[in-house]
Amino acid sequence: MKAHLWHTAFKPATGGAPQNATTRMLLLVTKLHKNGVLSAEAKGRVKDQVLRGTITEAELQRQYGSAAAVHTRNFSTTFNPFAPSAKKHQEATWSTVEGTLLVLDGDSIQPSSKIASFDMDDTLITPKSGRAFATGRNDWRWWNPSVPQRLTELHQQGYKLVIFTNQAGIAKGNARACDIQGKIQDLAAELGLPLQAFVATSEDKWRKPSTVMWDYFIKHHNGNVAVDNQQSFYCGDAAGRIKAWDGNPHTAKDHSCSDRKFARNVALPFQIPETCFLGQPDTQHFDWGSIEPTTAMQSAGAKAYEGNLTASSQEMVICVGTAPAQEQSGKSTFTKRNLVPQGYVHINQDTLHTKSACLQATEKALAQGKSVVIDNTNPSDSARALYINIAKERGVPVRCFTFKTPIELAQHLNVYRENMSGVKRVPGIAYNMFKKQYVEPRLAEGFTEIKPITFVPQFDNPDQEKLFHQLT
């Protein structure tokens, strides 16, 4: 069918001069663009290849000729870019959500209760250059020759094909959004199948394994059709597999477990590419690579502290965490729930913005006879001394609350806070800086008591608790 369309699509009118290969190829490129198979950028790129002679007619037919036989489910006509009388379907287009999520969608992409969803890199495709990261839009080949056939089978079985991919290199300046977008459009064109895509371009709330990208897809891009999670699945290579997981001592470990976590968080069956495309079984030799929130809750216990939390007379409480942001050790939540309602003035640099403002607010509150809680990270003895000296000048006793939250839990809370409130997560480098500054609190600094506080999660509603249980 492809060959027939290829030769008849450019048959010259009666009496016309025969068309040479270059003319036929340029006409094909124009028709592919007109019918939505090639974007304007892709059209220019392929046209340039034709004119420079770097692509043959056979290669062009192999790459794009399959688009002639695209038959999209729920459409009454077959999309044939070679046939002038064929019905033209609206090209899938890209949109941007909140600046960092890219979405590919269009009328040709129909909703379905069965979702076959995939990571992209090293799952559907891999760099043909052999490098770890693709060098541009054209640096790709199918992960395995079986990928196109399997995707076609899934489409024929009524599955909607969707890509969910992390591409933080865009925000970091290591990759161009247009290259990633064009590459995905090229995949769809070569497949000749409708392909929907969601691209998280930064290390923010959209990034897998967070469910925010999936939730947005469900709410806005599946035509209000409920997804059958048991019939659907997610496939990705970031499965946390350990070194030599397949028995081969030369097999490297996976770079992360984000795809397996993502599938679990959105309650989808998970497949590795070897299972989806080669029929091989998954392995139990993998590591989640992060804390299990449910286990953390069970081991936390029911009570966060021993003894009296508040004082009957004026005092200062200085909080010291073990992470570079207040919410990562649970300090801010704890103080707002337990001390502020008891009349303690909350001193926090996130809200007051500067150290100077915090010190001034502290002096003012103590002068008014109020108790204060210093809810900053306060990692060093020198940082704590600034507040202790203010208390000493007024004869106010100072206690220290230490929040010794395990680093793995602190990192989980970092992402949880971002997903819940939109506050951008603290970058990994901040942990190393905090560690260098941290000095264990001592009574000799001027504290009357050092009280350890154990993290015990508390939630205002079921949605917060559900979010806390997601793997990060």
Q: For 101-154, what is each residue's pLDDT tens digit?
A: 999 999 989 999 999 999 999 999 999 999 999 999 999 999 999 999 999 999
Tokens of 61: 């037919």
Q: For position 336, what pLDDT does the model report?
A: 92
Q: How far from 429 is each of 128, 210, 254, 426, CA to CA, in Å?
A: 33, 21, 22, 8
pLDDT at 2: 39
Q: What is the DSSP letter of 363?
A: H
- Residues 103 and 164: their CA atoms lie apart, in Å, by 10
pTM of the model: 0.67
What is the arithmetic mean of pLDDT over 450-458? 85
Nearest one of 194, 121, 197, 193 to 164, comparing CA atoms? 197
Whether the domain at 93-278 and the domain at 299-469 fall into the same CATH topology: yes
pLDDT of residue 66: 42
In tens, the pLDDT along 330-342 reads 788 889 999 999 9
* Residues 10-15, mean pLDDT to the nearest whole number: 40
Give the mean model confidence (pLDDT) for residues 86-90: 36
CATH class of 93-278: alpha beta
Q: Which of 81-90, 176-185, 291-300 has the highest mean pLDDT?
A: 176-185
The CATH topology of domain 299-469 is Rossmann fold (3.40.50)
For the stretch 234-272, pLDDT in tens is 999 999 999 999 999 999 999 999 999 999 999 999 999
More confident residue, 82 or 193: 193
CA distances from 126 to 140, 179, 247, 253 (A): 5, 15, 23, 17
Kindly state the average pLDDT of the residues 201-205.
95
Rg (CA), the chain: 29
* Contact status, residue 469 vs residue 294, Cβ threshold 8 Å: yes
pLDDT digits (tens, 9 = 90+) for 368-416: 999 999 998 889 999 999 999 999 999 999 999 998 777 777 788 888 8
How high is the pLDDT of residue 323?
A: 56
Which pLDDT band holds residue 345 (cuts at 50, 70, 90)? very high
Strand intervals (E) in 26-179: 93-97, 101-105, 115-118, 125-126, 141-142, 160-166
| Domain coordinates in residue numbering, the chain | 21-64, 93-278, 299-469
Amino acid at 202: S
